[in-house]
A and B are shown apart, each in its own frame.
Chain A
Amino acid sequence: MKAGAVPIALALLGASAALWPLAPRHPLGEAPSQAATKPSVPAELPLFARRDRIFLSDAQLKQAMTTGTVDRPIKSLLAVKAPLHFGDYTWNDTAIPAGPTWVRVDLQTQLISVFRSGHEIGTAVIVYGGDNKETPVGTQHILAKARDHRSSLYDAEMPYTLRLTDDGVSIHGSNVRWGAATHGCVGVPLEFAQRLFDATRVGDEVVIIPPGKATPSQTS
């Protein structure tokens, strides 16, 4: 009988191992809360669209929302390999589903980021208002869009204008270069402005973060 016990044990082990993949993943219901530390890689993005993205963990998101870097949940950032120069931009909305779109303008880092469905789809370096013509901060809404706008106040071309305030502060295509400032508008590179113009609708939110709000020294 001792000779027959080993195969029987092996058979039982094999049977249980074969049934193991069929067992429920979280049998007692407490396991899903443990997944909070994992990065929230969404299932809707295919693999090729996830390649150039940095998906945020819940801890990162919570930290970012606590410190005011973002004011709403985001899922991923674009993986920008090198620092952007003035006039540079990155745009990648591959396979990003349609959804709520909002724009984050950071005057501290001189960056603009466009988010759709929680994923960042574009970022660029901006120029913003000078010291006596400051860009209004806070949450604005896109009031109007004008593809070929010409400012009557400043007698200047402002292509792909997204008007934010009643007194004319807008996001528009501009000559983004070092040392430049605007009269309060947010200037973005022209091609980026075109993409931004096509990606946003009237009513979408634009959050302008003042300088000193989300400094890296505070949050990192």
Chain B
Amino acid sequence: MSVSDASKPSAPMGRRWVVVAAVVLAIVAALSIATVSRTNLAKAVGDAASAGLDNIRTVAAMLADRSPGQRPEGSLASLKQKKQPVLHQRALPKVRKLESPLAGIVGTPPVPPVEMPPQTPLYSMVSAAPDLVPPTSIVPGGGTPPGSNISPPGGGGGIVVPPGTTDTPNVPVTPVTPAVPEPATWAMMLLGFAMVGWVIRRDKLVAPQPVGA
């Protein structure tokens, strides 16, 4: 009513206020209607999307759709299930046979007199640089390298290229494990023993609580 009272004077300024107020209210109303209807619309669309066509189907039909079907009558001849075959895997021997099958026929090539390499310990030779290849896996380029008959200490399972044979390109080169552990290994092992002893000693020092107390 105050709006109509304000428009009573019929002054152009007052009528303009009324128009502005009406336009603002109309915009607010339109926005609110749009918001509400959009919410409802989204809800309806969401429901329909989540339900889809499944809301006109029965639960049993939906369950039957995922089923592999009914079990046929005559498919059960035996109840016993076959045992799964046990897979055996035989452990590989530690050192493969060095002789080729032709060794007995052809005969082994004469081995030149052994010349020991310069006196460097084996373990330092292996661990010094990773690109140093142990002497046993050096591919002989026709002749036999010196020191090739040094067998790798310890069974590493590595493939040893026998002397005198030609190389195949994909022979894996495995580093030779030295028989004597390095000082760092010794230190680590002793440290471990010390830790174990310390733990045992600590457990003994803590008096055990009586059970049920």
Chain A residues packing against B (C-beta within 8 Å): 3-4, 6-8, 10-11, 13-18, 20-21, 38-39, 41, 50-51, 53-57, 60-61, 63-64, 67, 69-70, 74, 77, 79-80, 82-86, 106, 108-111, 113, 123, 125, 128, 130-131, 133, 175, 178-183, 211, 214-216, 218-220
- Can you list 5 residue pairs at the A/B interface with Cβ under 8 Å? A4-B15, A14-B26, A17-B32, A54-B54, A106-B63
Contact between chains at A220 and B57 (CB < 8 Å):
yes
Across the interface, do A219 and B33 meet the contact criterion of CB distance under 8 Å?
Answer: no
Chain B 17-29 interface mask (CB, 8 Å, partner A; 1/0): 0110111111111
| Interchain CB contact under 8 A, A110 and B22 | no
With A11-B22, A41-B50 given, is the CB distance from A69 to B36 under 8 Å?
no
Known: A21-B36, A111-B63. A8 touches B22 (CB 8 A): yes
Q: Is the CB of B26 within 8 A of A83?
A: no
State the CA gap A109–B18 with chains docked (Å).
71
Contact residue among A21, A69, A181 (Cβ-Cβ distance under 8 Å from B63) = A69
List of B residues within 8 angstroms of A109 by Cβ: 63-64, 66-67, 69-70
Select the stretch in B75-83, B98-106, B203-211 that faces chain A: B75-83
Is A10's CB under 8 angstroms from B25's CB?
Answer: yes
- Residue in chain A with minimal CB distance to B75: A179
Q: Chain A residue with minimal CB distance to B14?
A: A4
Which residues of A have CB within 8 Å of B67? Answer: 83-84, 106, 109-111, 125
Cross-chain contact B76 with A179 (CB below 8 angstroms): yes
Across the two chains, which residue of chain B brings its CB closest to A80? B66
Contact of A15 (CB < 8 Å), options: B18, B25, B27: B25
How far does the alpha carbon of A133 sit from the alpha carbon of B68 in the complex, in Å?
Answer: 22
Q: Is B65 among interface residues, defined by CB-CB distance under 8 A?
A: yes
Shortest beta-carbon distance, B202 to chain A, in Å?
35
Cβ A39 vs Cβ B50 within 8 A: yes
Report the minimum CB–CB distance from A72 to chain B (whole Å).
Answer: 12
Q: Which residue from A3, A39, A61 sits with its C-beta under 8 Å from B15?
A: A3
* A50, B15: Cβ atoms closer than 8 Å: no
What A residues does B29 contact at CB under 8 A?
A: 13-18
- A110 and B69 contact, Cβ closer than 8 Å, known pairs A8-B4, A57-B51, A131-B76: yes
- Please tell me if the beta carbons of B51 and A55 are within 8 angstroms of each other in the complex: yes
Q: A3 CA to B30 CA in the complex, in Å?
A: 22
CB contact list, B23-79 vs A, under 8 A: 23-30, 32-33, 35-36, 47, 50-52, 54-55, 57-71, 75-76, 79
* The residue from B18, B32, B59 contacting A56, defined by CB atoms under 8 A apart: B59
Chain B proximity of A21: nearest CB distance (Å): 5
Q: A17-B32, A57-B55, A180-B81 are in contact. List 4 more A-B contacts (CB 8 A).
A: A77-B63, A109-B69, A216-B60, A219-B60
Q: In the assembled complex, how far is the CB of residue B187 from the closest CB belonging to chain A, in whole angstroms?
A: 43
CB-CB under 8 A from A211, the residues of chain B are 70-71
What residues of B have a CB within 8 angstroms of the CB of A178 in the complex? 68, 75
Whether, in the assembled complex, B3 has its beta carbon less than 8 Å from a beta carbon of chain A, the answer is: yes
Within 8 Å CB of B22, what residues of A?
6-8, 10-11, 14
Instruction: With A80-B65, A84-B66, A111-B63 as known contacts, state yes or no: A64 contacts B58, CB within 8 Å.
Output: yes
Tell whether, in the assembled complex, residue B66 and residue A111 are in contact, meaning their CB atoms are under 8 Å apart. yes
Contacts of A77 in B (CB 8 A): 59, 62-63
**Complex formed: what's the CA distance from A29 to B132 in Å?**
91
Whether B79 contacts A181 by the Cβ 8 Å rule is yes
In the bound complex, how far is the Cα of B29 from the Cα of A20, in angstroms? 9
Chain B residues with CB under 8 A of A3: 15
